[in-house]
Structure 1
Amino acid sequence: MNSPPHHDQPQKPLLIGITMGCPAGIGPEIILRLHLERELARPAVGSEVTAETGSGPETAVVVLGDPTVLAQCARRLDLAVKISSWQPGQPPRAGALNVLPVSALDPVPLPGRPTVESGRAMGEYITKAVALVQSGELAAMSTCPIGKDMLNAGGYHYPGHTEMLAALCNCSEYAMMMAGARLRVSLVSIHRSLALVPEAVCEEAVVRLLRLTARALQRDFAIPRPRLAVAALNPHAGEGGMFGDEERRIIVPAMTKAAALLGDGVSLTGPRPPDTVFYQASRGDFDAVVAMYHDQGLIPFKLLHFQDGVNVTIGLPIIRTSVDHGTAYDIAGRGVADPASLRAACLMAAEIAANRSARCRDQA
């Protein structure tokens, strides 16, 4: 019989690393605004001891970025933020924005005007954060938005965050999940022309994503018996082949194969007509929807979670969450950026870290 947990033992704070993203985007501003909100002073969601008891593990954040960029942004927007230099191994300083100086850009790029040097800095923030999560210094990482063109110009030749993280983690099976309080969506195909989507929806890809999604729900979201709905590719799920036969030829066989691999603990339903399945999931019928392509899944998701949606990279050995928006160069420096998605990303990173830790203890 397992012994009950000893809640009187001190628990190590969950330390989340925030990468600053593009120095010329809204990343610096939303970091400063999130710090001022003091949202992360409460215990992590999903810990054994709930936030209401006041005795669960605390969550703290450190920023991997450029102190000068952050300081200039604070002055420009008249935000009273005390910035403190932080190094791995040190406890975060209370009341201050703790920053690991990864870059020292000179000159600092103007808001909305990224440079090759700022692109190189973006890549350095990500690389350093991954190394610190892998070493255990950080429990997880949450990323602010980057400019993919300048990331490549700066010497990091990846299509985006996800592929770079997978390469740094030497991980070949990974996927993007968009997660919010009412809806979770994972995607078989992501950034490709709509004309090329049917060829990307192959049996292997669907099986792979079903396995990744089910495992993420169990390990990261503490759902022991996840319920997955699979969206059809065609209207009305093909209407018996009248509007396409990918459901019969590809998706159903993939679901059959995935069900055998996943076992009885995972429920698979579908292929469901895309025009109804997201509503059904949003009211609680399913724990996640596996969508076939980018806009099929992200349009309903952003309708519900435009401000507080979180991008989670599932399948990685490390924990990475991200804001669900871009660099927003058009509003950078104007003082109107909303930190809601970054807040949600950090809290979800802490939740996943707590869930993984609890799962490891249960399996020990």
Structure 2
Amino acid sequence: MNASASSPAPAPRKAGPIRIAITTGEPAGVGPELTVAALAGAAAHWPNARFVVLGDRALLEARAKAVNVDWAALLATQPVEIEDIPLGTRVQAGKLDAANGRYVLALLDRAIDGATAGEFDAIVTAPLQKSTINDAGVPFTGHTEYLAERTGTPRVVMMLAGTGARPLRVALATTHLPLKDVSAALSVAGIVETLRIIHHDLRHHFGVPLPRILVTGLNPHAGENGYLGREEIDIIAPALASATAEGIDARGPYPADTLFQPRYLKDADCVLAMFHDQGLPVLKYATFGEGINVTLGLPIVRTSVDHGTALDLAGTGRADAGSLIAALDTAVSMARHRRGL
């Protein structure tokens, strides 16, 4: 990623309904049918919002049958429009084909371009298959990194969250790295900037007036006073001191194996974990199928599901649209906060 400065945020749209772009993701996975299922009740669930579905129209119509949705009625009665982007090649549910790798990226590029131009208030992404894109000859690490590169954002933060009045939110100091590279990727400046992003976005996109952020250590027992590692002493604690001096309520570092308890989390707005598999197993155990993924720090709003392409369920109608519905809920809510509605 060569981005060195963040692109300016597009001016929020001032008039008309909230407009949400949905990328339907890997065509062999569950994304297309979950999109159709989630939007079947859009008019009642999201008044004053419109949804632009990016994907192959024929594929979406075929997958509508799998989830028993009347395609013609959906288009006639719901605030949904389809922007037809043709597949690279014919697709079979559950069977990956590298010939569709660039199609998946085309969906994402269209959504990003529309959001940065102010055409869309937010992007919601259905799951994609990284291997398909890489097999198509395009180096690709993940949605989060690609969105950062395309928008020229030097640092973004991956946050997964549950739903409800007091949702569990877990953000990550590092994302898709091998475990052996995590320690070297941590720095005082990087953690401080991550805390700034979380603090800002919780306030301005989620309506949390005074965010409280709990921060894990990296090592077992948060380093045991240096006997099990010094990252807590040399990096994390100084970062917390700097963030606190800026008025950010960030506390820790806490041992990750004991932090995720109600007595610690009851007054917390977010947990910052040091690496992917430190925080996300707990979050997914508590919320899987109803949780969401949000990319913080972008100049645009982006939410996603908390699961993958579920190739074994594609085309069967058995996949649960709960996470996508939650992602749409959050995208609409964030867009409304951003517009000041």
Mark yes or no: TM-score above 0.5. yes
After the TM superposition, which residues 1-364 of structure 1 pair with which residues of structure 2 at under 5 Å, given as runs?
A: 12-36=16-40, 38-39=41-42, 41-43=44-46, 58-82=48-72, 94-95=77-78, 97-106=80-89, 108-181=90-163, 182-260=167-245, 262-263=246-247, 266-280=248-262, 283-358=265-340
Shift of 1:169: 1.1
**CA distance in structure 2 between the aligned counterparts of 1:96 and 1:177, rounded to whole angstroms:** 28
Q: Is the 8 A contact 2:157 2:197 kept in 1?
A: yes
Q: Is the 8 A contact 1:281 1:287 kept in 2?
A: no
Pick closer, same or farther for the CA change 1:72–1:333 going to 2, 3 Å. same
Q: Which sections of structure 1, spanning at least 5 residues, go unmatched?
A: 1-9, 44-56, 86-92
**CA distance in structure 2 between the aligned counterparts of 1:225 and 1:239, rounded to whole angstroms:** 30
Shift of 1:60: 2.4
**CA distance in structure 2 between the aligned counterparts of 1:29 and 1:252, rounded to whole angstroms:** 46
**CA distance in structure 2 between the aligned counterparts of 1:150 and 1:282, rounded to whole angstroms:** 41
- Equivalent position SS for 1:15: strand
Shift of 1:148: 0.8
Off by >6 Å, runs of 4+ in structure 1 = none
**CA distance in structure 1 between the aligned counterparts of 2:285 and 2:263, rounded to whole angstroms:** 14
Shift of 1:282: 7.4
- Equivalent position SS for 1:216: helix
Shift of 1:96: 6.8
Pick closer, same or farther for the CA change 1:64–1:173 going to 2, 3 Å. same
Shift of 1:84: 7.8
Q: Is the 8 A contact 1:15 1:61 kept in 2?
A: yes
**CA distance in structure 2 between the aligned counterparts of 1:209 and 1:304, rounded to whole angstroms:** 24
Name whichever of 276-285 and 227-236 sits farther off: 276-285
Q: Is the 8 A contact 1:84 1:98 kept in 2?
A: no
Q: Which sections of structure 2, spanning at least 5 residues, go unmatched?
A: 1-13
**CA distance in structure 1 between the aligned counterparts of 2:99 and 2:92, rounded to whole angstroms:** 12
Of the two, which has the highest radius of gyration?
Answer: 1
Shift of 1:210: 1.1
1:337-359 residue CA offsets vs partner (Å, 9 max, x unmatched): 1111100111101111111111x
Q: Is the 8 A contact 1:42 1:59 kept in 2?
A: no
1:22-63 residue CA offsets vs partner (Å, 9 max, x unmatched): 111100110121122x155345xxxxxxxxxxxxx6222120
